[in-house]
Amino acid sequence: MEMIHTASLMHDDVVDNAPTRRGKPSANAKWGNALSVLVGDYFWCKACEIIVQHGDFRLLKVVTDTITGTTEGEVLELTQSNDVGINEEEYLKIVRHKTAVLLSACCHAGAVLGKVSEMLETALRRFGLDLGIAFQLSDDVLDYVSEEERFGKTRGSDLREGKLTLPLIVALKRCTDPERAIIKDALLSTELSEVQLGKIIELLDKYEGIDYTRKLARDYAERAKSHLKPFKPSIEKDALLALADYVTSREE
Ligand code: FPP
Ligand code: MG
């Protein structure tokens, strides 16, 4: 799963033309797009090869469904970039596909390998899905509010990439026409200035786009935790519950 995740990020950084990843130069910035695409391909093919060797075809299906899902999410996001008409439901569909299916698959794979009942397998799959949505919602908040050195990404990078995430979608829905024009200008500008970014962050504050998104992230994290109710107490369960709290409280 880690190899598939790495592959998807190497490809994503090419798609987004991202200069950094986790606070360091991205693979595409260091070695170029061609190498990033090919090494990414190698990683996810190698991951599938390892699962085929293991011989559990249910596990293989969990993993291949994930690769299909995340790719669909990326394509959906790309086709909706710069589209100020995107609504919360469409945004959540992208988030579910782009990010949550991977976390869901990690939990689902554990359930398959652990040979738990169908009911518990579904519970773990749902835990991962809601956890993944909570994670991405928090990530989209951090893109606007984090300290760059701690987050490892440039502040406002979603806006620069033409990505409309929930904080901005909420503000767009609530703001005045002149303010909407400011947001559109910022989205379409080739070089987003610090002044423009500052103005957008002001609008996110004014229309509570950040607070709304943070609250929704906490709701998803709570829903994730509720899926674990049928599991009896264990340190593993405690770790998963703590993870759900961590994704909405992290600052980097
Ligand atoms: C990060 O999103 C990207 C993803 C979570 C998924 C990327 C998926 C693909 C490129 C499809 C190919 C998949 C495989 C397995 C090869 P983001 O750009 O919002 O986050 P970021 O800010 O961390 O870049
Ligand atoms: Mg990206």
pTM above 0.85, yes or no: yes
200 alpha-carbon distance from chain centroid: 22
Sequence spans of domains, the chain: 1-55, 56-247
The answer regarding whether domain 56-247 maps to CATH 1.10.600.10 reads: yes
Q: Using CA atoms, how far apart are residues 146 and 125, in angstroms rounded to an integer?
A: 30
Between the CA of 233 and the centroid of ligand 1 the distance, in Å, is: 34
Q: Using CA atoms, how far apart are residues 61 and 200, in angstroms rounded to an integer?
A: 42
Indicate the top mutation candidate among 1, 2, 3, 8 to test ligand 1's pocket, ranked by most ligand atoms within 8 A of CB: 8
Taking CA atoms only, the protein residue closest to ligand 1 atom 4 is 98
Q: How many CB atoms lie within 10 A of CB 61?
A: 14
Task: Note down pLDDT in tens along the chain; length 252 residues.
Answer: 999 999 999 999 999 999 989 889 999 999 999 999 999 999 999 999 999 999 999 999 999 999 999 999 999 989 988 888 899 999 999 999 999 999 999 999 999 999 999 999 999 999 999 999 999 999 999 999 887 656 666 788 899 888 899 999 999 999 999 999 999 999 888 888 889 899 999 999 999 999 999 999 999 999 999 999 999 999 999 999 999 999 999 866
Q: Using the CB atoms, write b or e for 174-203: b if 16+ within 10 Å.
A: ebeeebbebbeebbeeeebeeebbebbbeb
Atom of ligand 1 nearest to the CA of 4: 15
Between the CA of 79 and the centroid of ligand 2 the distance, in Å, is: 15
Ligand nearest to the CA of 12: 1
pLDDT at residue 188, rounded to an integer: 86
Ligand nearest to the CA of 70: 1
Q: Which of 39, 43, 31 is nearest to 5 (CA)?
A: 43
Between the CA of 95 and the centroid of ligand 1 the distance, in Å, is: 10
Indicate the top mutation candidate among 3, 9, 154 to test ligand 1's pocket, ranked by most ligand atoms within 8 A of CB: 9
List residues near ligand 1 (CB under 6 A). Answer: 4, 7-8, 11-12, 15-16, 18, 40, 44, 67, 70-71, 74, 98-99, 153
Run of H or E residues at 25: strand 24-25
pLDDT at residue 241, rounded to an integer: 97
What count of residues does the chain have? 252
Q: Using CA atoms, how far apart are residues 110 and 113, in angstroms rounded to an integer?
A: 5
